[in-house]
Amino acid sequence: MGLSRLSFKFFPNHIRVLTSSDCGRCPKEGCGPPGCTLNINDPQVQEAAIRIQASYRGHRSRKELREKGPPKILQELKDVVLVEGSAAKLECRVSAFPDPFIVWFKEGKQLKDGPKYRYVFEDPDFVALVVRDGVLADLGKYTVNIKNPFGETSGSACILVEVPAKVSKGPDNVKAKRGTTVVLKAEIRGEPPPDVAWLKDGDDIEEDDRVFFDVGDTNTILTIKNAKLSDAGKYEVFVENNLGTDQSFARVDIL
């Protein structure tokens, strides 16, 4: 009785490595570019083949192991600060299979994917909303709704808007008679609300019962009662917050 000869093949990492005997094998004629050859014995080629096949097998295994079920939020949304004129991004990490349907809302109103609001899917696990060209009206609560055939979940966070201090409309020049009341008004904006100061000829105005100023949400008013000749001069309104400063000037003449 003859003995059968056993043969063994060693596959590194359980992956078959091509050898020189595999050269020229092609499913059909002309499958490669003319004049191109591949040295299968090159260690770098073998190492690259192992990495590519292992990566594919790992990707396939992860996909096959995913269990079907309702979406889950693995990393919650966080509040972000949006500076006027710039962009902000809200993002969270999710787990969902089958792939979920994503919808974003602001204060309960659905946001459509477009130039202003951009839906972003950075990879299978992260979803994000980019808010572009920030304005004060973007301040508010944002919610993401994640839904697939097995259920749904949601998460929320706030966008806080910061606006550099600005005098959006400065005071007008004034000519007034002695003994009358002079009023200088300026429109201001900023978030956080800016600090406001009034100056006369470069010096801070010291308030009293006759000369004083008020600051509202969107304006500031300087009042000068019983105007005197000495009240004539150059007046300045100055605003400042952590994002910037601004000022505007007006001339007061007392006749």
Spell out the SS3 assignment of 9-58. CCCHHHCCCCCHHHCCCCCCCCCCCCCCCCCCCCHHHHHHHHHHHHHHHH
Among residues 144, 51, 68, which one has the least CA distance to residue 101? 144
In sequence order, the β-bridge partners of residue 249 are 236
Answer yes or no: is pLDDT of 28 > 50: no
Per DSSP, 82 falls in state E
Q: What percent of the chain has pLDDT over 90?
A: 71
* pLDDT for 24: 47
Count of CA atoms in the C-beta half-sphere (13 A) of 248: 18
Predicted local confidence at residue 38, as pLDDT: 52
Report, as an integer, the average pLDDT of 1-24.
Answer: 51
Q: Is 34 a residue whose pLDDT tops 70?
A: no
Residue 220 has pLDDT above 60, yes or no: yes
Reported confidence tier of residue 27, pLDDT bands at 50, 70, 90: very low
* Fold match between domain 69-162 and domain 170-254: yes
pTM score, two decimals? 0.63
Architecture of the domain delimited by 170-254: Sandwich (2.60)
Q: What is the mean pLDDT of residues 47-73?
A: 62
Domain spans, the chain: 69-162, 170-254
Please report which helix (H) or strand (E) contains residue 69, including its range: strand 69-75
Tell me which fold the domain 69-162 belongs to.
Immunoglobulin-like (2.60.40)
**CA–CA gap between residue 243 and residue 85 (Å, rounded):** 12
pLDDT value at 60 more than 60: no
* Res 7 pLDDT > 80: no
What's the pLDDT tens digit per position in 107-144?
999 999 999 999 998 777 899 999 999 999 999 999 99
Supply the mean pLDDT for the chain.
85
pLDDT digits (tens, 9 = 90+) for 163-207: 999 999 999 999 999 999 999 999 999 999 999 999 999 999 999
Q: Whose structure tokens read 């591949």?
A: 38
pLDDT value at residue 41? 62
Name the band, by pLDDT with cuts 50, 70 and 90, for residue 3: low
255 within 8 A of 177, measured Cβ to Cβ: yes
Q: Percent of the chain beyond pLDDT 70?
A: 74
Q: Is 210:224 a contact under the CB 8 Å cutoff?
A: yes
pLDDT of residue 248: 98
The vertex-152 CA angle with 150 and 156, nearest 5°, equals 165
**E strand or H helix at 102:** strand 101-106
The one-letter amino acid code at 3 reads L
10 Å Cβ neighbour count for 251?
13
